Amino acid sequence: MTTLKSKLKEDLTTAMKARDELTSSTLRLTLTAITKEEVSGKTARELSDDEVQKVIAKEAKKRREAAEAFAQGGRTEQAEREKAEGELLDAYLPKQLSDDELGAIVASAVEEAKAAGAEGPRAMGAVMKIVNPKVAGRADGGRVAAAVKKLLAG
């Protein structure tokens, strides 16, 4: 079992003993999503820590989007719960890059792409291929794409 998955299970046990309903339900749903990912496909397999991190990031993103939707719908109590669940899951993810750090990584990737002959807005794909492995798990894809578009537009 991966170390991140076992940490989630340990934290779930601790939350259940402490009767922390929010934490235990959030971790249960996350572990279920991880298990579902493990058994999807032709053969069951165990996810690596990086893959588990991607599942947690996906679950956290779902919570943020749901919180926004509930807030827009006027259901503040449900929005607060979703937001709290998202923050709880964020604790299991690596620290997010600041805008300055992300900008520096994107700028170097744009220079690298220009050196390879890709220029202008059409270079978006080439730059994203360079940036994504460097920021994996530390920046939301939307933030990365926005930073790349901004730099390529000039």
Q: Which of 22-36, 84-98, 108-122 has the lowest mean pLDDT?
A: 108-122
Pairwise CA distance, residues 56 & 31, whole Å? 9
SS3 11: helix
Average of per-residue pLDDT across 69-83: 91
Q: Within this chain, do residues 85 and 33 fall inside the same structural domain, yes or no?
A: yes
Which pLDDT belongs to residue 113? 74
Is the pLDDT reported for residue 70 higher than 80? Answer: yes
Mean pLDDT of 125-143: 77
Does one domain contain both 56 and 119?
no
Q: Are residues 9 and 68 in the same domain?
A: yes
Q: Do 147 and 76 sit in the same domain of this protein?
A: no
**Per-residue pLDDT for 2 more than 70?**
no
Q: Please give the pLDDT value at position 17.
A: 93
CA 139/CA 120 separation, integer angstroms: 23
Instruction: Kindly state whether residues 79 and 105 are assigned to the same domain.
Output: no
Q: What is the pLDDT of residue 77?
A: 92
Given this model, what pLDDT does residue 66 score?
92
Residues 78 and 108 in one domain: no
Comparing CA positions, the residue from 50, 25, 55, 56 lying closest to residue 40 is 55
Same domain, 78 and 106: no
Q: What is the pLDDT of residue 154?
A: 64
Task: Name the domain boundary from 68, 91, 114.
Answer: 91
* CATH code of the domain containing 106: 1.10.10.410
Please report the sign of the dihedral spanned by the C-alpha atoms of residue 84, residue 77, residue 82, residue 6. positive
Total tally of structural domains belonging to the chain: 2
Same domain, 35 and 65: yes
pLDDT the model gives residue 139: 75
Residues 35 and 72 grouped into a single domain: yes
- Picking from 43, 67, 91, the residue at the C-terminal end of a domain is 91
| Residue 10 · residue 2 · CB < 8 Å | no
84 and 10 within one domain: yes
Domain with 146, as residue range(s), is 99-153
C-alpha closest to that of 95 among 143, 139, 147: 139
Last residue of a domain, one of 39, 71, 91: 91
pLDDT at 59 over 80: yes
Higher pLDDT, 2 or 110: 110
